[in-house]
């Protein structure tokens, strides 16, 4: 929990927030607020702030210096609800993400599946001047309990189409000799689609009993051994022949898992699409091999 590693920072923040009229609420989310897979000494601290004028906190970094000696700070988009956060690294190695939302967004949080997924794993209220966070937590709990843990058939079809479109796209990049772009496609973009399909496969196999987290978090703990065994070969070195091999392996693993997901839900798998893209990809990569 945060007391062990972030106690002084949190207490300074809490004191500052309590005396700042524009700060209406604040809470800790993420690993420091979780009881399942809780924080360790390497975890950061995620603080959500609801402010009447959030741009003031985003545009100026001066306020974060009140909680410790700042080594660096910068701003980037938040993971949910399209706001921004100020990320801070302090001199003792502690890193804090201050996600800043308008105070009017408290109502939006209660109806956001993205925010609900984060808050459902744990949150700790630091400041609640308008007594809205307790209601928010109740709404999130009720919403999360009623959410389906499976994709719709439309989501499945889009994911499969997206994957095969970018398989051929990556093959074309390899054909052109753009190895950097091809590697990003194979080992980043296609892997994000692969892990999503693996999550859906886990729900088909185990239902609500498996917690797949998000974006591959704790993958080695929740995935099945037969799935994990296939993953190392899907990644590739930065060279043409191995990128080609990695693309083929990633495509094969995705195909097998997508077929299993389709069977589990009794959905149609777009076999004709996959066959057509595989043929075009093979032609492209064969030409590449011939020109090496």
pLDDT in tens, 39-95: 888 899 999 999 999 999 999 999 999 999 999 999 999 987 789 999 999 999 999
In whole angstroms, give the CA distance from residue 217 to residue 208: 17
Which range of 12-26, 129-143, 204-218, 275-289 scores highest in mean pLDDT? It is 12-26
Contact 98, 49 (CB under 8 A): yes
Q: Which pLDDT belongs to residue 139?
A: 59
Confidence class for position 107, pLDDT limits 50, 70, 90:
confident
Q: Which pLDDT belongs to residue 211?
A: 84
Nearest 10 degrees: Cα torsion 112, 116, 118, 123: 120
Q: Compute the Cα dihedral for 197, 210, 146, 36 and give only its sign.
A: negative
Mean pLDDT of 242-264: 98
Residue 177 has pLDDT above 80, yes or no: yes
What is the separation of C-alpha 266 from the centre of its chain, rounded to a whole number of angstroms?
A: 28
- Whose tokens are 């076999």? That residue is 271
Residue 278 has pLDDT above 70, yes or no: yes
pLDDT: which is higher, 59 or 287? 59
Mean pLDDT of 14-41: 90
In whole angstroms, give the CA distance from residue 291 to residue 75: 45
Q: What is the CA radius of gyration of the chain?
A: 23
Query: Which pair of structure tokens corresponds to residue 212?
Result: 């797949």
CA dist 141 to 118, 120, 131, 222, 242, Å?
A: 11, 6, 17, 23, 46
Q: What mean pLDDT, rounded, does the chain reach?
A: 90
CATH T-level assignment (fold) for domain 153-290 = 1.20.120
Start and end residues for every CATH 1.20.120.330 domain found in the chain: 153-290
Mean pLDDT of 245-264: 98
The pTM of this model reads: 0.81
CATH class of segment(s) 2-145? alpha beta
Mean pLDDT of 13-33: 94
Confidence class for position 146, pLDDT limits 50, 70, 90:
very low
Mean pLDDT of 189-213: 93
CA dist 20 to 56, 57, 237, Å?
A: 12, 12, 52
Query: Which pair of structure tokens corresponds to residue 270?
Result: 């777009």
Residue 145 has pLDDT above 80, yes or no: no
Start and end residues for every CATH 3.30.460.10 domain found in the chain: 2-145
Mean pLDDT of 227-252: 97
Buried-exposed string 205-226: b where 16+ CB fall within 10 A, e elsewhere: eeeeeeebbeebeebeebbeee
β-strand pairing of 23-29 with 123-128: antiparallel
């Amino acid at each position: 929990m945060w007391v062990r590693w972030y106690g002084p920072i949190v207490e300074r923040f809490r004191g500052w927030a309590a005396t700042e009229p524009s700060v209406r609420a604040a809470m800790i989310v993420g690993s420091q607020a979780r009881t399942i897979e809780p924080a360790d000494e390497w975890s950061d601290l995620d603080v959500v702030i609801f402010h009447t004028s959030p741009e003031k906190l985003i545009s100026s970094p001066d306020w974060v210096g009140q909680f410790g000696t700042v080594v660096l700070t910068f701003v980037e988009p938040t993971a949910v609800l399209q706001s921004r956060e100020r990320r801070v690294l302090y001199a003792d190695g502690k890193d804090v993400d201050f996600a800043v939302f308008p105070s009017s967004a408290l109502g939006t949080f209660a109806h956001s599946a993205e925010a609900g997924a984060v808050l459902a794993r744990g949150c700790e209220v630091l400041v609640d001047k308008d007594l809205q966070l307790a209601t928010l937590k109740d709404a999130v709990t009720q919403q999360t309990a009623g959410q389906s843990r499976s994709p719709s058939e439309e989501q499945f079809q889009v994911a499969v189409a997206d994957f095969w479109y970018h398989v051929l796209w990556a093959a074309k990049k390899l054909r052109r000799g753009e190895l950097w772009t091809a590697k990003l496609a194979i080992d980043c973009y296609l892997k994000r689609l692969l892990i999503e399909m693996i999550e859906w496969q886990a729900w088909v196999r185990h239902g609500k009993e498996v917690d797949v987290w998000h974006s591959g978090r704790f993958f080695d703990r929740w995935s099945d051994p037969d799935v994990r065994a296939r993953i190392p070969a899907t990644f590739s070195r930065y060279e043409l022949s191995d990128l080609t091999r990695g693309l083929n392996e990633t495509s094969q693993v995705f195909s097998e898992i997508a077929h299993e997901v389709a069977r589990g839900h009794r959905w149609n798998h777009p076999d004709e699409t996959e066959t057509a893209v595989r043929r075009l990809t093979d032609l492209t990569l064969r030409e590449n091999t011939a020109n090496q």
